[in-house]
Amino acid sequence: MKKSTVIENFSNPIETVWNIVTDNTAYAWRSDVAKIALSDDGNSFTEFTKDGFETQFTITVKSPYERYEFDIKNKNMSGHWTGIFSKDGFGTKITFTEEIEVSNPIMNLFVKAYLKKHQATYVADLKKALGK
Domains of the chain listed by start with CATH number: 2-129 (3.30.530.20)
Q: What is the DSSP letter of 33?
A: E
For residue 45, which of 31, 28, 60 has the smallest C-alpha distance?
A: 60
Q: What's the pLDDT tens digit per position in 14-52?
A: 999 999 999 999 999 999 999 999 999 989 999 999 999
Residue 28: strand, helix, or coil: coil
pTM of the model: 0.93
CA distance 21 to 58: 15
CB count within 10 Å of CB 17 equals 22
State the pairing for strand pair 67-73/2-10.
unpaired
In the chain, the amino acid numbered 38 is L
* Per-residue pLDDT tens over the stretch 76-122: 999 999 999 999 989 999 999 999 999 888 888 888 898 999 999 99
- Amino acid identity of residue 54, one-letter, is E
Distance between CA atoms of residues 105 and 85, nearest Å: 33
Assess whether pLDDT exceeds 90 at residue 68: yes
3-state secondary structure of 114: helix
